[in-house]
Amino acid sequence: MSDQHEWWQKGIIYQIYPRSFQDSDGDGVGDLAGIRNRLDYLEWLGVDAIWLSPVFPSPMADFGYDVSDYTGIDPLFGSMEDFDQLLEDAHRRGIRIVLDFVPNHSSDQHPWFIESRSSRDNPKRDWYLWRDPGPDGRPPTNWLSSFGGSAWTWDEKTQQYYHHHFLPAQPDLNWRNPQVVDAMLDAMRFWLDRGVDGFRLDVIWLIIKDEHYRDNPENPDFQEHEPPHHQLLATYTTDRPEVHDIISKMRKLLDRYDERMMVGEIYLPIERLVTYYGAHGTGVHLPFNFQLITLPWDARTIARAIEQYEAALPSHGWPNWVLGNHDQPRLASRVGMAQARVAAVMLLTLRGTPTMYYGDEIGMQNVPIPADRVHDPVEKNLPGIGMGRDPQRTPMQWNAAPQAGFSDHEPWLPIAADAAERNVTVARETPGSLLRLYRRLIELRQEQPALSIGSYSPLPTEGDVLAYVRREADHRFIIVLNLGSEPARVEPPLEICGSIALSTHLDREGEKVQGWIELRADEGVIIDCPE
């Protein structure tokens, strides 16, 4: 079989939040040497690429998403040598590394911003978005920050406002300025030359704003419980047409190298999301598809979403699916421990590149954070409305040792209360554990082209059951997932025949199936159906 597929189409991406994966120097914060010490585990698990949340120098106002030097490594995480060693070791094991690039904003401590705010006629003034006040000294527009309050901060010294979609400590760069474009492309080139395999582009859909600085319209559907910035529609601050031009410049740069990729963080409805593939070879390789996070966990809703997504993809657009990340409540807390297994089967059998979030493979849950240990600025600014992201960023649970084997020092965020039972070491030794399920699923997906690059077709089902076929050449797998907590007997019109290759419960392998199948509550199966 000739296989034209790229690594990022066949591969599985694993997100590491570096502060919380493994601490090597006893400061309670994870680091690059720590990640390097855990490569054995990632190799055993079988993932193809690591996406590292930002490791660049940063004052950590937003824990690395406020970059003060795009071409360095924060000493908290190690040195450039540590990074090079990690990259080399990972590559030696066939694991790629994707960096988190943050183009929308820098830190207010970045030398560019320090210069920019120093005077109105500084050459870097126009690298950021500075505006005169509106009437009565009000901010120039009604734009709201996603992290609370106005998206404009007044600068006393130069008597203008600057724009920040997030914290005041994260001023937005002016992507209409060609010098900014060049400087950022240079930073990307720096990492590409070092050998990184690609970038996850932070909030890429909002890097360019309306050139006329129009006010955002009111959101007629705003509900009380939503975050305050949802009061306005983000019409003039996000998803502007000019963004595609900038992405195409980044793409052109990447295409000068072999086998590099970009995955874009984009929270948009599907019909808008798919525009980020661009025309052939001009967009991001993968615009993150967050539907399994944002939609209710319900078979009919998900079946429709898959169908709609498959139909919306441009012919050159490769799909992808995500179950969790550092901004979203933990999967196991959202859908429950039993359905987390079904979700794993879904993620690793749908057509498209899967992205996993560290710890989801052992069923880590949201960890309650006592008030005096809150770190996330979102929780500090908008307390008590469930927006804080610390609960899903707690240290990886490796073993039953104090601090769960993450560190020999009190970690920056608390360790989950169940870490002595729920950890990698225990899970590796427990038959039927979620971790073993992930490992087996990954292995199966790696062995069977039908599951990675094969075609997808839905099978009609009812109620809480979702079913589909993956096929490549003459090999066919039928996946049947029970998203409900009642047993289900399933008789798809297509004749099911063959044998079970995997069940969520890891106890039915080899069982023959003919015509129909009985699923237990919260059970998913992969049926091997040779033609």
Closest approach of ligand GLC to the CB of residue 265, in Å: 6
With contacts defined by CB under 5 A, name the span among 25-33, 226-234, 314-322, 447-455 that binds Mg ion. 25-33
Those residues whose C-beta lies under 8 Å from the C-beta of residue 217, and which sit 6 or more positions away, are 232, 233, 235
- Nearer to Mg ion among residue 31 and residue 464 (C-beta): 31
Q: Among 14, 21, 51, 65, indicate the residue that binds ligand GLC (CB under 6 A).
A: 65
Contact status, residue 216 vs residue 279, Cβ threshold 8 Å: no
- Nearer to ligand GLC among residue 396 and residue 496 (C-beta): 396
379 binds ligand GLC (CB under 6 A): no
Closest approach of ligand GLC to the CB of residue 104, in Å: 7
**Residue count, binding to Mg ion (CB under 5 A):** 5
Taking alpha carbons only, the member of 353, 359, 355 closest to residue 333 is 359
Residue nearest to ligand GLC (CB): 65
23 binds Mg ion (CB under 5 A): yes
Q: Can you name the residues that pair with 517 across neighbouring β-strands?
A: 490
Closest approach of Mg ion to the CB of residue 82, in Å: 11
Residue nearest to Mg ion (CB): 31
Contact status, residue 464 vs residue 483, Cβ threshold 8 Å: yes
**Residue count, binding to ligand GLC (CB under 6 A):** 9
- Nearer to ligand GLC among residue 153 and residue 446 (C-beta): 153
Q: CB under 5 to 8 A by kind: which of ligand GLC, Mg ion, none does 82 bind? A: none
Contact status, residue 33 vs residue 40, Cβ threshold 8 Å: no
74 binds Mg ion (CB under 5 A): no
Closest approach of ligand GLC to the CB of residue 64, in Å: 8
CA 173, distance to chain mean position in Å, is 22
Q: Can you name the residues that pair with 321 across neighbouring β-strands?
A: 354
Q: Can you name the residues that pair with 153 across neighbouring β-strands?
A: 162
- Nearer to ligand GLC among residue 394 and residue 503 (C-beta): 394
202 binds ligand GLC (CB under 6 A): yes
Q: CB under 5 to 8 A by kind: which of ligand GLC, Mg ion, none does 202 bind? A: ligand GLC
Closest approach of ligand GLC to the CB of residue 327, in Å: 5
| Residues 10, 12: Cα–Cα separation, whole Å | 7
Q: Among 23, 48, 62, 528, indicate the residue that binds ligand GLC (CB under 6 A).
A: 62
- Nearer to Mg ion among residue 35 and residue 243 (C-beta): 35
- Nearer to ligand GLC among residue 60 and residue 261 (C-beta): 60
Closest approach of ligand GLC to the CB of residue 226, in Å: 17
Those residues whose C-beta lies under 8 Å from the C-beta of residue 384, and which sit 6 or more positions away, are none
CA angle (79 as vertex; 76, 85 as ends), nearest 5: 125
CA 207, distance to chain mean position in Å, is 18
84 binds ligand GLC (CB under 6 A): no
Those residues whose C-beta lies under 8 Å from the C-beta of residue 419, and which sit 6 or more positions away, are 397, 400, 404
CA 149, distance to chain mean position in Å, is 26
Whole-Å CA distances, 208 to 261, 269, 276: 22, 18, 14
Dihedral pair phi/psi, residue 12, rounded to 5°: -115, 130
With contacts defined by CB under 5 A, name the span among 18-26, 53-61, 87-95, 479-487 that binds Mg ion. 18-26
Whole-Å CA distances, 137 to 141, 149, 155, 156, 159: 11, 16, 12, 12, 10
| Residues 374, 370: Cα–Cα separation, whole Å | 7
Q: Among 327, 408, 472, 509, indicate the residue that binds ligand GLC (CB under 6 A).
A: 327
Q: CB under 5 to 8 A by kind: which of Mg ion, ligand GLC, none does 25 bind? A: Mg ion
Contact status, residue 471 vs residue 451, Cβ threshold 8 Å: no
Q: Which residues are catalytic?
A: 202, 265
Encoded amino acid at 298, one letter? D
Q: Among 6, 7, 10, 27, indicate the residue that binds Mg ion (CB under 5 A).
A: 27
Encoded amino acid at 9, one letter? Q
227 binds ligand GLC (CB under 6 A): no
25 binds Mg ion (CB under 5 A): yes
With contacts defined by CB under 5 A, name the span among 14-22, 31-39, 168-176, 359-367 that binds Mg ion. 31-39
464 binds ligand GLC (CB under 6 A): no
56 binds ligand GLC (CB under 6 A): no
Closest approach of ligand GLC to the CB of residue 338, in Å: 28
CA angle (332 as vertex; 326, 338 as ends), nearest 5: 160
| 3-state DSSP helix/strand/coil % of the chain, to nearest 5 | 30, 20, 50
204 binds ligand GLC (CB under 6 A): no
CA 404, distance to chain mean position in Å, is 24
205 binds ligand GLC (CB under 6 A): no
- Nearer to ligand GLC among residue 264 and residue 352 (C-beta): 264
Residues in 111-170 that interact with ligand GLC by CB under 6 A:
166
- Nearer to ligand GLC among residue 265 and residue 361 (C-beta): 265
DSSP per residue over 485-513, as a string?
SS-EEE--SSPPEEEEEEETTS--TT-EE
Residues in 481-520 that interact with ligand GLC by CB under 6 A:
none
197 binds ligand GLC (CB under 6 A): no
Using N-to-C axis directions, what is the helix angle for 434-447 and 337-349, rounded to 10°? 10
Which ranges of 352-511 would DSSP assign to H, the alpha helix? 377-381, 424-429, 434-447, 449-452
Chain residues binding Mg ion by CB under 5 A are: 23, 25, 27, 29, 31
Binding interface with ligand GLC (CB under 6 A): 62, 65, 102, 166, 202-203, 265, 326-327
